[in-house]
Amino acid sequence: MRKLPRSLRFYVAASTLYAAVVFFAVQFIYTIELAQSGIFIATRDNGNVLSSIEIVSFIVWLGISLIAAAVLHRLATALAGARSAEAQAKTSKEVKDQELGAIFGLSAALAGPLDLEQIGRYFVAAVRGGLALDTTIALIVYDDVLEAFRTIAADGPRATGLKGSYSAVALPSIIRVRVIDHRQALVLADTSVDPVMWAKVAEELPALGAARSFVALPLVSRERLVGALLLLGERAGDLSPDRAQLPVIMGQYVAGSIHSALSVKEADARAEREALVNRIAQRARASLDPDEILRGTVDELSKVLGVSRGIVSVGETEDELTVLYEWDAPGVPPVGRGARSLPVARFAARLGRTVVVRDVRQDQRFAEQDTGTTAQIGVVAVAATPIRVGGQLAGAITLSQIDRAREWTADDVRLLEAVAQELRVAITAAEAFERQRTAVVELERLNQAKSDFVSIVSHEFRTPLTGIQGFSEMMQSEDLTLDEMREYAGDINKDAHRLNRMITEMLDLDKMESGRMQLHREPLDLNAIVSDVVDRVRPNAPEHPVSLRLDPLVGELNGDRDKLTQVMANLLSNAVKYSPKGGEIVVSTRAEGDSAHVVVRDHGMGIPKASLEAIFERYGRVESPATRHIQGTGLGLPIVRQIVQLHGGTVWAESNVGEGSVFHITLPRGAALSSAVAEAAS
C-alpha cells in the first residue's frame, strides 16, 4: 500500500480525535437529556440499540473527519505550492538581477580610460561570478605592435600555461578558423565527445589539453577582432551554451574598451617610434663624427626594440661586410670589431632588402651557411637591412636576439629601415666631412711646410747671401791686392756652393719624397765608399781623429754610388759638426747575414732621446743653445733616410746627451738587395 504523506496522516489523526471528542460529548449530552426527560432505556435492551446508534454516528463522524482531513491536506498543499512558486520566482529574479548587476558593474568599471591589464582584471572578475569556481579564464588580445596574441589576464588552475604571447599560427587550427577567422563562438560542453579533434587541439596548444569542457569566444569591436576569451572547465558540462551567455554579453562590453585601449597604445607606440626616428635623424644631422652617430643610433634602436645586440657593419660587397660598431645588452658577449660572421647581413646585402629570421636554427636559407659560428655566439633571431649610399652597398645594420626566437613585426622592420635610411644620410655626410677634414689637414701640413721653408730659407740662405753680398761689395769698392781678391773670391765661391748645396738638397728631398728619384745601381764596394769619404773628411777635421774598422766580408753590393757617398758624407759631416770640442769618430762596417751594417760613432754633444726620431723629419733640428750657432738645414738626415730606404735598408740613431751619438745603417747585400729594391720601388 502506498504510504500516506505525513501531512495527510496528521490531518486524519487530528480529525479522528476531533470526531471522537465530539462523539463522546454528544453521547454524554444525549444520555443526560434522556434521563432528565425520564426516558430510560429499557432494561431489556442490553445496549444493542444504543450501541448501533452510537456506531452509526461514529462512522458518520469518522467519514466527515476523513473528508475534512483530505480537503484540508489539499488546501495546505496548494498553499505550500503557491508559496514555493513565489519563492522560486523571487530567486530567479535575484539571479537575473545579479547578472544584470555584474554587467552594469563591468560596464561602469570599464567607463574610464584603462590600460589593457586593468580591463583584463575587471573582465575576468566579472565573468568568474557566473561560472564554476575552478573554471580557468583567459583573455587574449591581438597586439598590433607585437603582431601576435597576448594574454592580458588569466585566472584559474590552468592560468599559468596560458600566459605569454603567441602568433596567430600558434593557436589551434579550430580556434584560428572558427573563432579568429569566422568570428564565431566555439562551445564544447564535453571535450571527450570528439577525442580526435581535442587531441589535435592539445597538441597544438598543450595548455588547453586538460580542459573537459571548453569555450572560445571572439571579441569583436567595430568590425575589428581585438581578442578572444578562453574558458576551460574542469568537468564535462561545466561550460554550456547557457553558461556562455553571460561571458558573451560581457565580451561585447569589454571588446569596445580593449579596442580603445589598443588604439591608444598603438598611437603611443607609433608616436614613440616617430620620436625615435626624429631623434636619430636630428642627432645624425647634428654630428659629423661617424662614431658618435653610430653610438647614438644603434644604441637607441637596440634598446627600443629590446634586442640583445645591434651591429653596424661596413663593406662595399656582401663578402666584405665587417663589424664597425656594436651595441650589446648587459651580459651579451661582444662579436668584436672587425668580425665577419654575418650571414644574415650578407644575405640582406645580396638581396638588397631587409631579411628577418625568426629562428636561425630552423631556417633553411642559413642551413648551409656558417650558422655554426652564429650559433656559437648564441644568436637565434636576426633582422638585417642593407645600407646603400648612391645605389652602392655601404654596409648593413643587424639586430639579433640571443637565446630565443622572435617574431619580427612589420613595425620592427619599418623602424630598422628608417634608421638605416638615416644612417645612410649620416654616413654620406660624415664621409664628405672626413674627406674635407683630410684635405684641411693636408693643407695645414703644406702651409706649415711652406712657413718652415720660408723661415729656413730666410735664415739659412741669408747667411751665405750676406757673405756673397759683403765680399762682392768690398771687391767692387775697395782697392784690393790680388791675394785679397783671391781670398774674397774664394769666400764668395764657398757661400755660393753652400747655397747651391741647400737648393740641391731641397730639390733632391722633394724628388725622393714624391717618388721621382731614380737610383743608378751598379755593383759597388761599400768599404771603398766609406774609406773614400773618410779620407776626404780627415784633412778638414784635424780635431776629430777618424778610425776606420772595415769588415772585408761586407763585400760588394748593388747600389747607387753617388747616393751612398752622399749618405756617408752627411753622417760624417754631422759627426764633425755636432762635436764642436773635437773627439774621436769611429766608422765601422760589419757583414750581418744578408745585410751590411755601417756604424758612425762620435763623442760630441749627443741628441735628446725625444728627438731621435724627429731628426729624420724634414727640417727636424734639435733646438738648443749648443746647436744654435751650428749651421744646418734640417734636410741632411731626411735625405739619408730616403736614400737608405730606396736601397731597401734602414737607418736609426742612438745617443746619450753629452756623450755622443751613434748612427746605424743597414743595407741589403746580394740577392736580398734586388728583392728589397723591387719592394721599395713598388
Point out which residues bind ligand ADP (CB under 6 A). Answer: 570, 574-575, 578, 602, 604-607, 615, 620-622, 627, 632-637, 661
645 CB neighbour count, 10 Å cutoff: 14
Is 175 or 637 the residue whose CB approaches ligand ADP more closely? 637
Beta strands 186-188; 546-549: pairing state: unpaired
Least distance (Å) from ligand ADP to the CB of residue 656?
11
Contact 402, 332 (CB under 8 A): yes
Contact between residue 408 and residue 371 where contact means Cβ atoms under 8 Å apart: no
φ/ψ of 67, rounded to 5, equals: -60, -45
Complex with ligand ADP: residue 285 or 609, whichever CB lies closer: 609
For residue 523, list its beta bridge partners. Answer: 558
Nearest residue (CB) to ligand ADP, 334 versus 608 = 608
Task: Name residues whose C-beta falls within 8 Å of residue 316's C-beta, 6 or more positions apart in sequence.
Answer: 392, 393, 394
Residue showing the smallest CB distance to ligand ADP in the complex: 632
> Which residues 6+ apart lie within 8 Å of 555 measured at CB?
525, 591, 669
Q: Output 219 or 456, the one with its CB closest to ligand ADP.
A: 456
Q: How far is the CB of 515 from ligand ADP (least distance, A)?
A: 21
Q: Residue 677 Cβ, how far from ligand ADP at the closest point, in Å?
A: 24
Q: Which of residues 257 and 611 has its CB atom nearest to ligand ADP in the complex?
A: 611
For helices 561-577 and 636-646, what crossing angle results, to 10°? 150
Least distance (Å) between residue 583 CB and ligand ADP: 11
Nearer to ligand ADP, 393 or 605 (CB): 605
Q: Nearest distance from residue 461's CB to ligand ADP, in Å?
A: 13
Q: In what order do the strands lie in the sheet with 595-601?
A: 546-549, 585-592, 595-601, 660-668, 650-656
Q: Where are the alpha helices (DSSP H) in 457-525?
A: 462-477, 482-513
Pairing of strands 546-549, 585-592: parallel
Query: Which amino acid appears at position 441 of this protein?
Result: V
Residues in contact with 627: Cβ distance below 8 Å, sequence separation at least 6, in sequence order? 578, 605, 621
Smallest gap from residue 650 Cβ to ligand ADP (A): 17
Q: Which is nearer to ligand ADP, 110 or 639 (CB)?
A: 639
Least CB distance from residue 638 to ligand ADP, whole Å? Answer: 6
Measured from the CB atom, is 633 or 666 closer to ligand ADP? 633
Q: Considering the complex, what minimum distance in angstroms separates the CB of residue 596 from ligand ADP?
A: 21
Provide the minimum distance between the beta carbon of 662 and ligand ADP in the complex, in angstroms, as a whole number: 9
State the CB neighbour count (10 A cutoff) for residue 200.
13
- Nearest of 587, 593, 523, 521 to residue 553 by alpha carbon: 593
Per the CB < 8 A criterion, the answer to whether 168 and 149 are in contact is: yes
| Calpha distance 310→330 (Å, rounded) | 12
Which CB, 76 or 586, lies closer to ligand ADP?
A: 586
